[in-house]
């Protein structure tokens, strides 16, 4: 049994209360509540600028386009994703997007031949995503992400607000449906990720992303055949 510190217990209680209050709230209200809870300087949005990312970023921009957005540039991203990032920044008027990269010394020590994705994908994700995000989130008291229950797997039971170590973690899109996401795109005339038209339903790093058919889970093309469904940023404490 893990014994939480007094501070951690306080964050856990805070998260539990907010989760009850916001359980049925629309995404914009959840983002606004996160902003009220800790203030702009202590709140970050983490976005992959992937196939559904524009929906959350649109909601965030409507509440406050100056909320910091953390983007993990792993070194293995599709050129289309990097271009899409720039398109959405301009389209939505995002004012503080921070592109975070893995440390060169970590790559030199653990992935000098750029083959770690094949031999040990968990270690590759740890170096290129988990550790950079941990560093990027260190100044913040809360963060927002775009996970949805309809994506299945461990995401099927995510709360709207949860405790993650010393931080609050907000999931504003937890309750939305695929139709809700499509409606946000349609109403705001948001551009689609360039790879959607090619059959990519979820886009991550190039070596570990493949196309998925319409009858598959939306994340079926991620780490296909690996028995792996998450990179680790949502299963590893970032505190």
Asked if 130 and 232 count as a contact pair (C-beta separation under 8 A), the reply is yes
Token pair for 47: 């976005």
Sign of the alpha-carbon dihedral angle for 107, 110, 114, 119:
negative
2, 43, 196, 204, 222 from 80: Cα distances, Å: 43, 27, 10, 11, 17
113-147 exposure pattern, b = at least 16 Cβ within 10 A, e = fewer: eeebbeeebeebbbbbbbbbbeebbeebbbbbbbb
Cα gap 199→118, rounded to integer Å: 23
Cα gap 89→111, rounded to integer Å: 31
Closest CA to 44 of 61, 69, 27: 69
Angle between the 27-38 and 53-63 helix axes, to the nearest 10 degrees?
60
List, by residue number, the catalytic residues: 231
């Amino acid at each position: 049994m893990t014994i939480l510190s007094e501070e951690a217990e306080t964050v856990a209680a805070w998260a539990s209360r907010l989760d009850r209050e916001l359980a049925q709230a629309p995404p914009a209200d959840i983002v606004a509540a996160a902003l009220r809870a800790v203030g702009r300087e202590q709140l970050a949005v983490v976005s992959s600028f992937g196939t559904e990312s524009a929906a959350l970023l649109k909601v965030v921009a409507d509440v406050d386009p100056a909320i910091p957005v953390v983007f993990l540039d792993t070194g293995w991203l599709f050129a289309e994703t990097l271009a899409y990032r720039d398109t959405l920044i301009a389209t939505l008027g995002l004012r503080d997007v921070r592109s975070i990269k893995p440390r060169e010394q970590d790559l030199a020590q653990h992935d000098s031949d750029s083959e770690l994705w094949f031999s040990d994908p968990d270690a590759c994700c740890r170096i290129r995503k988990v550790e950079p995000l941990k560093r990027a989130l260190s100044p913040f008291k809360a963060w927002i992400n775009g996970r949805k229950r309809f994506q299945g797997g461990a995401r099927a039971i995510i709360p709207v607000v949860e405790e993650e170590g010393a931080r609050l973690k907000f999931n504003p899109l937890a309750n939305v449906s695929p139709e809700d996401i499509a409606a946000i795109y349609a109403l705001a005339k948001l551009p689609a990720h360039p790879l959607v038209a090619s059959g990519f339903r979820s886009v991550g790093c190039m070596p570990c992303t493949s196309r998925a058919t319409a009858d598959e889970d939306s994340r079926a093309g991620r780490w296909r055949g690996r028995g792996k469904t998450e990179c680790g940023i949502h299963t590893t404490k970032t505190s």
